[in-house]
Chains A and B, each alone.
Chain A
Amino acid sequence: MIRNLVDYVDERLGVSPGARKLLRYIFPDHWSFLLGEIALYAFIVLVGTGVFMSLYYVPSDAEAVYRGAYEPLRGLTMTESYLSTVNLSLEVPAGLLMRQTHHWAANLMIIAIVLHLLRILLTGAFRKPREINYLVGVTLLALTVLEGFVGYSMPDDLFSGIGLVISYGVALSIPVFGADLAFLIWGAEYPGSSDFFPRLYIVHVLIVPAAIAGLIGMHMAMIMRQHHAQFPSKLATERNVVGYPMWPGYALKAGGLMFLTAAVLFLLGGLVQINPIWQWGPYEPYLASNGAQPDWYLGWLLGSLRLMPALEIQLGDLTLVPNAFWGGLVFPTITFMLMYAWPWIDRRWFGDRDKHDLLDSPRDNPRRTAIVISYFSWVLIIFIAGSIDRLYLSSTVPYEAQVWFLRIAVIVLPFVVYFATKRLCEELSAREPRPLRGWTGKVVRRTPAGGFETVELDEGVPAVDGANGRNGGPVVKEEAGAGEGARGS
């Protein structure tokens, strides 16, 4: 049967050579390479559960009276958006399972992308030849956060309204055309015209997901073209790729991981409550609640708005640049610009323009590792500022003091983290058996031509510092370090 099928397709489309290559595509094996895959599987779950929900959700601000099963809301006037989401949650069979799974999957997708990004940064996988794919990846992160925010805004419950009004305030704050832009998006002054929810809907179910799917396609096509990078090992060099072929073992395991990811998400969706919108109630512009929290991945934006001191550009009593612009737009722009620019900053900093298919171990490049961790700690503190109302509620420290403490921490902590991480890496690195560092004797190493040679090692050997490829050929270095081959892959 397989024979007939393959013949049938091949006679018409001639795909066999491509298929053969695909089946033999080699995956180097390391647990951290699975983070990106998990993000992909979460996306698949999102599409599936999202299609289900789109059959019930009504994007409309038309008012209706709730007459459903949930007692506390009965008789209340609310928008169709909220009403349909409550009904989806409480009355449609499996509706709540799908909605909660969707929400969990969004959380998982973003956390997986962030950890994947961290892995890419720490191991130097963004270097030549992978810069283009890195840019695609960072864009995917931005789009996924945007998609999450729009999705979170659609039910029109109390919390989604609070998120939306802040984004309206941030849009207004853009110099020169902010007010026009906000009116363009909302169709009127906040809470917007009746076109607004249909716009959110089409952005959430078509425009952004189509862009995400397209970029995922590009991301994977580029990986296939370049092959995975790999950690150095006895076999792995800059010139080859070592690992499991796609078929059959790897495909089965990857498929298994997909099912397991989906299983965890559906179990969470069924067993662990998330965003019970019927408890929050419908949104009205005059309502807010203390302890209101957006989804965690927006916490860094909430935090930056909170930590920003009352700084505006004013001319007399005329406002030129409102405060929300700094925390709401300048900060996220800087955050992402730094991420986008990193491959070129790194290249400058280490003067390393070589092609790298072997990954660094984070400890081998203490300065890069330190700057990456320090950058993430910077975002993390601002993120924590987004949840200080929880702290405020559960402690007696007034929020003013907390805000001041965090303002100082935002400036000081990244430096502390930088030096601590650098030190830690250097120590870890020094403790490892390293034939090339302060060690004398004989080693057998491979020559660039492919043969072997015995080399006498003494002080004459150049000390290799983390930056790969700076001193002599990386091939030689990694092969000489074959004694540490157990590390890596």
Chain B
Amino acid sequence: MSSPTEGASETHDREAGSKRGAENLVLLSLAAATLAAVAFGVLVIVLPDTQLLGLALGGSLALLGVAAVVAGQKIVPQEIAIEERTDFGERQPASEVVEMVRDAERGVSRRRLLVGAAGASGAALGAAALVPAVALGPKVGETIAQTPWSRGRRVVDSQDRPITADDVQVGAMLSGFPEGATRREFGASIVIVKVPPGELEISARMRADAPEGVLAFSKICPHAGCAVAIYRHPLYEPTTERPALVCPCHYSTFDVRRGGTLEFGPAGRDLPQLPLELNAARELVATGDFVGQIGPSYLGVRK
């Protein structure tokens, strides 16, 4: 805002406005825009059909837009103007500002100390203001490692019916939940698959947790927590891959014959297995919590 001429522009080229035809066009579009706007109002009350509403409102806006553009282009005077630019950052005023700011410290003896103290108290106050944010969430503690599974919990399907060993077919995947727990809980859902026991390539301990080759895993992907919802089961093995559970989010692929070990994709851990046994009615029952922690990894999680 320094120089008096700043912002003064000169006209380079100007031509007077108003053409009869353009005016007619604008009038026509404005009239139609009004009609369409009224139509929108009426439609909302009598026939709120999304497509008609969109046509009416969009149409009204489009006509208004056309009217404005034509008016701007054809009716009002057209002008090209030129203006000189102002230079910023001139040394003189800038150094004056510096002087004015410095003015405050004239005669102040312990400037460093005062500024330092002010900075420290400001920082302390800022930090104090942030502390209440800590109350937003609970401590992670043990809660993150907890799941509703424990010894003796029956496995049920989404209709709360117990799942038996005979419900699980080779090549198919079932989803299961702990009986009586909320299914929304992160650690609740499992996937159940069956592998002919002769094909399993797992340790004796894992084998003991998989009665008749029925394997259960956490359904929550250890990469970022999506549901492992795809079971890739080859129809003709010599030409296709091994049976695997696949997470649709980033394609972490878990080999079921090897007990859910990672075969491809970004996950850092294998799928945690849920140890199972069969009760007298051949229903699936958990014999404990998952082997390993469920859910996405974080610092300190063990494989």
Least CB distance from B251 to A in Å reads 5
| Complex Cα–Cα for A243 and B10 (A) | 11
Count residues on chain B whose CB falls below 8 Å from chain A CBs. Answer: 90
Is B160 part of the binding interface, using a Cβ–Cβ cutoff of 8 Å?
no
Task: Pick the contact of A270: B55, B70, B265, B298 (CB < 8 A).
Answer: B55
Q: Cβ of B268 and Cβ of A258 under 8 Å apart?
A: no
Task: Pick the contact of B225: A93, A166, A243, A249 (CB < 8 A).
Answer: A166
Task: Pick the contact of B67: A100, A256, A262, A271 (CB < 8 A).
Answer: A256
Task: Pick the contact of A24: B9, B188, B302 (CB < 8 A).
Answer: B9
Of the listed stretches B98-106, B138-146, B198-206, B280-288, chain A binds B138-146
Q: Cβ of B219 and Cβ of A93 under 8 Å apart?
A: no
What chain B residues lie within 8 Å of A183 (beta carbons)?
137-140, 144
Is B250 part of the binding interface, using a Cβ–Cβ cutoff of 8 Å?
yes
Count residues on chain A whose CB falls below 8 Å from chain B CBs. Answer: 102
Least CB distance from B56 to A in Å reads 8
Is B2 part of the binding interface, using a Cβ–Cβ cutoff of 8 Å?
no
Is A286 part of the binding interface, using a Cβ–Cβ cutoff of 8 Å?
yes
B:23-63 near A, CB below 8 Å: 44-45, 48, 50-55, 57-62
Q: A253-B68, A253-B69, A318-B300 are in contact. Are A162 and B249 (CB under 8 A)?
A: yes
Residues of A contacting B: mostly: helix
Is A287 part of the binding interface, using a Cβ–Cβ cutoff of 8 Å?
yes
What chain B residues lie within 8 Å of A285 (beta carbons)?
184-186, 188-189, 220, 225, 227
What chain A residues lie within 8 Å of B111 (beta carbons)?
none
What chain B residues lie within 8 Å of A357 (beta carbons)?
85
Q: Which residue of A lies closest to B73 (CB)?
A: A253
B:65-83 near A, CB below 8 Å: 65-73, 76-83
Q: Cβ of A305 and Cβ of B268 under 8 Å apart?
A: no
Contact with A along B172-191 (1 / 0, CB 8 A): 00010100000111101100
What chain B residues lie within 8 Å of A267 (beta carbons)?
54-55, 58-59, 62
A:185-206 near B, CB below 8 Å: 185-191, 195
Q: Cβ of A287 and Cβ of B227 under 8 Å apart?
A: yes
Is A485 part of the binding interface, using a Cβ–Cβ cutoff of 8 Å?
no
Q: Cβ of A240 and Cβ of B58 under 8 Å apart?
A: no
What chain B residues lie within 8 Å of A173 (beta carbons)?
224, 296-298
Q: Cβ of A263 and Cβ of B65 under 8 Å apart?
A: yes
Binding site for A on B (CB under 8 A): 7, 9, 12, 44-45, 48, 50-55, 57-62, 64-73, 76-85, 88-89, 133-134, 136-140, 143-144, 175, 177, 183-186, 188-189, 219-220, 223-230, 241, 247-251, 253, 262, 264-269, 295-303
A-B contact pairs, 20 of them (CB 8 A): A94-B48, A94-B50, A173-B224, A179-B298, A184-B136, A188-B138, A189-B143, A191-B186, A235-B80, A256-B69, A257-B69, A258-B65, A259-B61, A266-B61, A269-B54, A270-B52, A289-B229, A291-B248, A318-B303, A324-B224
